[in-house]
Chain A
C-alpha cells in the first residue's frame, strides 16, 4: 500500500515536471504524453520488440549454455580454468559496442545481435556457476566418497544441485545484459527493426515522448528477464543452504589458486595470456571471414606498428584514448564514490538501505547504455551527458555489491561499539569502513568495463569525441584496420584496469586481512 502511494507521488511529480517543461525544455515529457505516444505507435511496437527479443533470447541461450558447460569443465579440470583465465577476463572486459561494427560487417541478419548477446551473458553466468559448483560443503563430498562415489558422482549428486541458486543469480544478471547486447548490435547495423534501431531512427524527430516510450519498453523487456530468473532462483533457493556450518573448505574450491613449481605457474600464466589471441585468430580462421575485413592479432599489429601509415593510426588512437580514458575514470570514480558513501550510510541506517535497494535493483536492470539517446535529449551533447551515463552505469551495480556485502557484516560488531557509547561516525569508521574495503574492490572490478562502454557509446551517439567517435568514423570510412585497433585498444584498457584493481586488491587483502 505504501509502495503504491509512493509510486503515485512519483508519477504525479513526473507529470508536473513534464507538463510545465521543467527539465531540458520538454526533454522530459509527462507520463501521460508518453502513454499517448505509445498508444499511437502500438502498431509498430510488436515487430520492434520481437526483433530485439528473439536474437537476445537465442544469444542468451547460446552464451549461457557455453558458460555453464565451461564452468563444469573448469571444476572437473582446474588447469583448464587457469588456461582460459585470460580469455575469460578479455570477454568480460570487451565493451560490447566496439564489437558491434565488426559483427555487422562480418555477419548478416540477426547474427550480430545473437553473438553480442551471447558475449555479454557469458561472463556473469560462467562466474556465478563456477562459484556455485566450487563452494560446496565439503562434508557432502565426504558422504559421496565414503560410498565410493568419485568426481562425477559428486558433480551430479551434489555440485549441480547446490549450484542452482548461484546459477540463477548469474542468469538473472545475464538476462538484461542479453537485451542490452542485442540493442547495441542494432546501433551499428542500420537494420530497420529492433528497439535499438527504433530508438536511433527516432532520435532526430523532436519527439521526446516516443524516445521515452521506446526506452521504457526496452527497460520493461530487460526487467522481465530479471524477474523471471529471480522467481526461478527463489524456487531453487529453499533448502540449499546447509543447516550447520562446515569448518573445512572444499579442496576443489581452491582450484582457482595457483599451485605447483614456479616454472609451471609461469608457463600457465604465459599460456593464459596468449590464449585470447590464439582464440581470436582461431575464430577468424574457423569462420573464414574475408581478410579484407578481418584482422587477427598480427593484423592489428600491422595496423598500429609496421603498416605504412602506422604512425598516423597510432596517433589517432592515442589521442582518442587520451580523451576517453580520463572521462571513464572520472565518471567511474564519481559513481563508485557515491555508491561507497551511500553504502556506508546504510551501515548505520539500515532503513536507508532497505528503501534504496529495490529501485537500485530495477535501475540496474535498465539497459542504461542503450538509453544514451534519452540522456542526450535531457542533458545535451556535452561532457555532463557522458559523465551522467557513466555514473548511472557504475553507481547502481557498485552500490548493490557494497551494500549487500556490508549487510553481511555481523550486527554484533556494530553493537559492541554502540554498547561502549560509539556514535554513527565511529561505527562507520571502526566497522563499516574496514568491512567495506573488499567490496569496494569487487565493485571497481565489476563496473570498470561498463564505465568504458558508457563513455564509448555516448561518444559514438552524441559527443563526437574520443574512442567512440573514432570507431564511428572508421565505420563510416570502412577503415576496418582502425575498427579492429579501437576494439583491441578498448579491451586492452579494460583488462589493464581489471588487473590493476586485482593487484591492489590482493595487496590490501594480504596486508590487512591476513
Chain B
C-alpha cells in the first residue's frame, strides 16, 4: 500500500511550531523528535495546552511545521494525506451536520476519489462495530455526544489507514462505554495493525492500549518522557486492576507531575 523512501511509520526530527499570540510568537512545540515504528500504538499524554493536538495536526499536514522533518510512511504529511495513508479523529467529532451517519463515514472515501459503493459492506461493518446499527440515516443533531464521537471513530477507520491519528477520541464517552471502546480499539488495531498515535488524558487508557506512552510538558510544549508498556496482547479488562498496571500508572503520573514544580 505504501512504498515510501524511508522506514515506515511516523518519523519526526526536530519539528518545531510556534503561533502568533497578540503579535508575539508563542512556542507551542519545542524541537521535537519522535519515532513511531510501523504498527506500533503510541499514546501521548500531557497537561492541557502542552501541544498534543498541535503535534497531531503537524503530522496530518494541517499546519506547516516551522522547522524540522516529518515523514509519514516515508511521505511528507501533505503527500501522505493525498495518498490516503492517514485516518484521523479529532478531539471534537466535527461531523458534517447535513450528512447522515452513513454519508459522514463515507466522506473520506469520496474525498480520496475511492468507490463508495464497493465499500458499502465495510461501512456497515464499522457502524455495527461502533454500536450504531439502526442509526445509519440519522443526522448528527439527532445523536448524543458519545454517539457522534463513535461516528467520528468509524470515519477515521473507513479508509483502512496505515497511520491512525486519534485526538482524545473517547473524551466524550462515559466510563463504561469508554472501557468497551478501549477493548474495541485494541481489537481493531490488532487486526489492522495501523501505526497509531493516540492522544488521551487518561493514564489508564494510555497504559491499557499503548506499546509506549509519551509524556509531554507545557511551556514550551515538549516531550518529557517515554515509557515502554510491555503487557502482552490481547489485554483483558482485568489488566486495569493488576498490580504491575498500578506501578506503571504511578510511574507515568510521576513523569507528568515532575514537570510542574
Contact = CB atoms under 8 A, between A and B. Distances in A.
A149 B93 CA distance: 18
B252 to A, nearest CB: 28
Contacts of A240: 97-98
A30 to B, nearest CB: 49
Interface stretch (A35-43, A126-134, A137-145): A137-145
A147 B112 contact: yes
A238 B83 CA distance: 34
A146 B94 CA distance: 13
B192 interface: no
Contacts of B57: 142
Given A153-B111, A243-B141, A139 B94 contact: yes
B110 interface: yes
B81 A146 contact: yes
Contact of B92 (A139, A149, A161): A139
B159 interface: yes
Given A145-B62, A148-B81, A148-B82, A243 B90 contact: no
Contacts of B62: 142, 145-146
Contact of B81 (A137, A145, A239, A243): A145
A161 B97 CA distance: 10
Nearest to B56: A146
A147 B141 contact: no
A419 interface: no
A244 B88 contact: no
Interface in A156-199: 157-158, 161-162
B46 interface: no
A382 B82 CA distance: 70
Contacts of A147: 81, 84, 86, 107-108, 111-112, 159
A457 to B, nearest CB: 42
Interface string B150-167: 000001000100000000
A16 interface: no
Interface in B76-92: 78, 81-84, 86, 88, 90, 92
A284 B108 CA distance: 49
B60 interface: yes
B96 A140 contact: yes
B61 A146 contact: yes
A241 interface: yes
Given A145-B62, A146-B61, A239 B88 contact: no
Nearest to B85: A148
A397 B84 CA distance: 50
A242 interface: yes
A143 B107 contact: yes
Contact of B60 (A146, A161, A242): A146
A145 B143 CA distance: 25
Interface string B106-144: 011011100000000000000000000000000111010
A143 B152 CA distance: 10
A247 to B, nearest CB: 9
Given A143-B107, A145-B61, A239 B86 contact: no
A175 to B, nearest CB: 24
Nearest to A241: B97
B92 A157 contact: no
A244 B92 contact: yes
A148 B141 contact: no
Interface string A237-253: 01111111000000000
A157 to B, nearest CB: 7
B119 to A, nearest CB: 14
Contact of A144 (B84, B95, B111): B111
B17 interface: no
A142 B90 contact: yes
Given A146-B61, A146-B86, A239-B141, A140 B111 contact: no
Contacts of A243: 93, 95, 97, 140-141, 143, 148
Interface string B48-76: 00000000010011100000000000000
Contacts of A158: 96
Contacts of B148: 243
Contacts of A145: 60-62, 81
Contacts of B108: 143, 147
Contacts of B111: 144, 147-149, 153, 157
A157 B143 CA distance: 22
Given A142-B90, A239-B139, A243-B148, A148 B112 contact: yes
Nearest to A161: B98
Contacts of B92: 139, 244
Given A142-B90, A142-B94, A243-B148, A148 B83 contact: yes
A240 B88 CA distance: 22
Interface in A226-242: 238-242
Contact of A157 (B78, B93, B107, B139): B107
A239 B90 CA distance: 20
B88 A143 contact: yes
Q: Which 6 A-B pairs have the closest CB atoms?
A: A148-B82, A139-B94, A148-B81, A147-B111, A149-B111, A146-B88
Interface of B: 57, 60-62, 78, 81-84, 86, 88, 90, 92-98, 107-108, 110-112, 139-141, 143, 145, 148, 155, 159
Given A139-B90, A148-B78, A244-B92, 16 more contacts: A142-B57, A143-B88, A143-B155, A147-B84, A147-B86, A147-B107, A147-B108, A147-B112, A147-B159, A148-B83, A148-B111, A148-B112, A157-B96, A157-B111, A239-B98, A241-B97
Interface of A: 137, 139-140, 142-149, 153, 157-158, 161-162, 238-244
